[in-house]
Structure 1
């Protein structure tokens, strides 16, 4: 409102100054013009300060909104079941790392321009009507053309922005997969063959960006032509009537100075719309991720007591302290899914799951996680040192004993810097068997009363498997609640009870 008021007022004051200088020789004395010139300068300074403050507030608000949305997307992503997260991880990464940045243009350029247009355009048209109603009629006839073309351009732009975000997600995912596979390609002497593929991805990204820029330039050109045409019509009308003495110079100059201000806000909205559309498309993708994520658990019941008993309705089993329960069955029947449900990472496949008699949906999941240690099919390893990965989920009281139990001490002896040896994402630098041993050492060294293992002896040789299974059985004998997912005979042999998801529980 302040920008609109100072814009209109400065145009009126400037028109008055110029008209007085041209029509009244006596007013050309600088002393006579000091007051109106000072007022004009004050209006310009006030407008500049208002624009600066608007930009400052817009930047601050944009940063806050982008940070809040990014946090919501990350929270929603981490609340997804592991399989759903694996499927939508790339979408979430694109939205957080690149997509939401486009929202900054929406808040700093498009939204302020939209508000200015909503206030300045009708106010300016009204002021023009006060000074020269014929110019106001010309403006009102030409003005609707800009919103009409903005709508047509916007429809094409929205579709293009959605396509560009999809293309960017696909291209970035493919490029990341290719980069992740470079060590393997290099080991096989095929790294040079990826050059052409990278060039193809780069060309596809460039074509997508150029197509987007083409629409932006064409839309700006159309809006500029329409705005220029509207101002030209006003100028011709005013000029003809000034020649024939049908209007005063002050009224004519006021109409001429204000005419561009009628079209300028709409032109600015149209120019900013395309850039803002990318951010709005990313926001819609963010909302899709947030809305489709499962509701976070609202339970607040803690898991009490030193011993923990897990009861599952389907398949019917009770996992008690001091015993090893082995969950087996054909591949794909849902063993890992059930394990994730017990962890509180996903919905319960069927029936109910109770922890010490409390339904898992009523538990405080974060407090429940502090009571257990879990080995997934692929141990979670992050870039850093081996020691940092061993204590990724909390300190290990007796690290040496944990490494011996998992046979990871043999791996440490062969590493160049022992615990300080650095590994890459997913354990790059270690073999599959070494990664498995690291994950086992992390779980076996945890003081948690509940231990959950998903295929714990995968990628292990026979002697190592025997030692690891013996260590798991020892933890159960010391009072831990142990649940193991497996199908190999040595794994089944350590079970106090074996539950076949394709059949019934078989006590051992």
Structure 2
């Protein structure tokens, strides 16, 4: 049994119960097989002897056959229920793990492969649960029952079966190892095909704009053809395995039948005993032959289980990394969340290292944000500003150092309870294919329609929402299709206004906005920041005059902090040089809310990635 199979048995109680029921039913089935063979041999022997048919054996034979049919029905029904429960449990485990996975790790995952795994992949577990496990239970019980009865009936035939019986699993194992490799390769190609196809569909407008849609069509066709060839190779191996097992089983039965026939001709054995041996000999090999066929059917399910456990193990590593620095003994304690209105947010020597990157995203960063303080983070793209926000949200885990809230390690807190006190607006917010009101209501699910409208007005979203066909009841397309990038940003801001949280984490809240909208959103954001602890990532300078402190993030570290910018008049030494032209505008308070008419190319709208599924 493979490690993935042992883990399935260990972690899924439904499979342990299924194996117990299957073993009991196989034991009963083995007894019924023996009884049917004995009764049938008795009836036929009496007929050849010229005796009139007896009612008792015929009635018993009919009852045994009916019981076998009822047993097969019960076995199939229990197996189907176990398979449905197994698939539901695996999907729940994967989705729960993905729900607890940070956006950074989700962004590194191929979402098409994950979708394929949760749909077509998990369905492949059916043959394993319905066919393979009951067959393995029968393999362990039925041959022993048959051989035990034959030892009492005709020990010579039983000895031949005992000698030849191991040949089937030996040949099956030799072919099975090759099948497992072929099936794993087939599944990898299918997952890659699903992931690539999803990427192509999502990026079809870009491909058409660059005239590359036909090329990608050929690529998808080539990948589909590679999967077809891998599938056919796997089927060839399966047919070869079936041929080998059937040949070995047929020869083994012949080794039993020929001596019995010769002994019957010489009168060394009676007809009834010979018939019992001939009826039971194929039954001894049947479970092993069925197990060989079921193994090939279940190989893809085992490969899928290995992939499921790989995802779960990745999540466990992330959870351990998150708990290790903060909780004694590496155990999360879920302490009560300190009052965010009076708690200091602190990063103490934090280092964040993403998989596959040589340089850390943040290196030994220390930052303290007092209650009610407004901190602006500036710096070039890729410097680590968004990672710093991800740390405070619990989406990223520090490899070294500690993140604390009011002196309590974030790893020791209930993250869901902590996030309830935080409003977050990401760079590219995700909108769902639901109504505009429900998208805003994600900030506070129990909010009334009037509260939703007030939040939209505060985020300067009410005007364009009113122009939609059904206003707030308009159902948006996937990823907010039908709205511009700036409109999507204002819907996300409305969520933050509606949540009314004491801690604000804003990742470029004025990105993708035209000058008029930027000025309006800036005024609304300033009102929202008042009285709250706020950390704002900014490329533009419209919010900088309203920050108590400007911190430059550069190459994974923090540059010396600039002085307070209450009036936004003095120079900010630590400010990135790229912001110098914009900063000149902040020297005049009357122009502080007037954005640069030539927007920063870095803030140009782009497609909304799947990692931004968690919104404020």
Q: TM-score, normalised by structure 2?
A: 0.76
Q: Is 1:307 aligned to residue 341 of structure 2?
A: yes
The whole-number CA distance in structure 1 between the counterparts of 2:373 and 2:63 is: 84
Tell me what 2:375 maps to: 325
Deviation at 1:245, TM superposition (A): 1.9
Contact 2:437 2:452 (C-alpha < 8 Å) held by counterparts: no
Tell me what 1:352 maps to: 402
Equivalent position SS for 1:506 = coil
Tell me what 2:157 maps to: 135
Relative to structure 2, which stretch is displaced further, 414-423 or 230-239? 414-423
Higher helix share: 1
Equivalent position SS for 1:331 = coil
Tell me what 1:385 maps to: 435
Deviation at 1:271, TM superposition (A): 0.5
Q: Is 1:49 aligned to residue 70 of structure 2?
A: yes
Tell me what 1:179 maps to: 201
Tell me what 2:109 maps to: 88
The whole-number CA distance in structure 2 between the counterparts of 1:400 and 1:119 is: 68
Relative to structure 2, which stretch is displaced further, 311-320 or 254-263? 311-320
Correspondence for 1:104 among 119, 126, 136: 126
Deviation at 1:384, TM superposition (A): 1.9
The whole-number CA distance in structure 1 between the counterparts of 2:143 and 2:399 is: 59
Deviation at 1:215, TM superposition (A): 2.3
Contact 1:324 1:473 (C-alpha < 8 Å) held by counterparts: no
The whole-number CA distance in structure 2 between the counterparts of 1:373 and 1:132 is: 80
Relative to structure 2, which stretch is displaced further, 4-13 or 332-341? 332-341
What are the equivalent positions in structure 2 for 1:267-416 lying under 5 Å apart?
Answer: 267-293=289-315, 294-295=318-319, 298-305=332-339, 307-309=341-343, 310-314=345-349, 315-348=365-398, 350-395=400-445, 398-416=451-469
Relative to structure 2, which stretch is displaced further, 182-191 or 389-398? 182-191
Distance verdict in 2 for CA 1:210–1:393, change over 3 Å:
farther
1:360-403 deviation per Cα after TM superposition (whole angstroms, max 9, x unaligned): 11212111121111111210211122222121232456333433
Q: Is 1:264 aligned to residue 286 of structure 2?
A: yes
Contact 1:336 1:485 (C-alpha < 8 Å) held by counterparts: yes
Tell me what 1:79 maps to: 100
1:290-337 deviation per Cα after TM superposition (whole angstroms, max 9, x unaligned): 122123873322334471532232443333444321123343332212
Contact 2:340 2:371 (C-alpha < 8 Å) held by counterparts: no
Tell me what 2:28 maps to: 2
The whole-number CA distance in structure 2 between the counterparts of 1:162 and 1:46 is: 40
Task: Name structure 2 gaps, 5 residues minimum.
Answer: 1-26, 324-331, 350-364, 565-616
Deviation at 1:413, TM superposition (A): 4.2
Deviation at 1:202, TM superposition (A): 3.6
Deviation at 1:146, TM superposition (A): 0.8
The whole-number CA distance in structure 2 between the counterparts of 1:323 and 1:472 is: 14
Tell me what 2:39 maps to: 13
The whole-number CA distance in structure 2 between the counterparts of 1:271 and 1:74 is: 32
Relative to structure 2, which stretch is displaced further, 111-120 or 482-491? 482-491
Tell me what 2:249 maps to: 227
Task: Name structure 1 gaps, 5 residues minimum.
Answer: none
The whole-number CA distance in structure 1 between the counterparts of 2:464 and 2:369 is: 33
Count of paired positions = 502
- Kindly report the root-mean-square deviation, in angstroms, between the aligned alpha carbons of the 2 structures: 2.3
The whole-number CA distance in structure 2 between the counterparts of 1:118 and 1:484 is: 65
Equivalent position SS for 1:318 = strand
Equivalent position SS for 1:313 = strand
Contact 1:449 1:480 (C-alpha < 8 Å) held by counterparts: yes
Tell me what 2:501 maps to: 448
1:229-261 deviation per Cα after TM superposition (whole angstroms, max 9, x unaligned): 211222222222222222211121111001100
Contact 1:473 1:494 (C-alpha < 8 Å) held by counterparts: yes
Relative to structure 2, which stretch is displaced further, 445-454 or 311-320? 311-320
The whole-number CA distance in structure 2 between the counterparts of 1:144 and 1:131 is: 21
Q: Is 1:489 aligned to residue 536 of structure 2?
A: no
The whole-number CA distance in structure 1 between the counterparts of 2:396 and 2:385 is: 13
Deviation at 1:169, TM superposition (A): 0.8
Tell me what 1:425 maps to: 478
Contact 1:337 1:349 (C-alpha < 8 Å) held by counterparts: no
Relative to structure 2, which stretch is displaced further, 384-393 or 401-410? 401-410
Tell me what 1:245 maps to: 267
The whole-number CA distance in structure 1 between the counterparts of 2:473 and 2:210 is: 29
Deviation at 1:273, TM superposition (A): 0.4
Q: Is 1:211 aligned to residue 233 of structure 2?
A: yes
Relative to structure 2, which stretch is displaced further, 266-275 or 42-51? 42-51
The whole-number CA distance in structure 2 between the counterparts of 1:484 and 1:229 is: 78
The whole-number CA distance in structure 2 between the counterparts of 1:318 and 1:481 is: 11
1:193-230 deviation per Cα after TM superposition (whole angstroms, max 9, x unaligned): 65544444443333333333222222222212221221
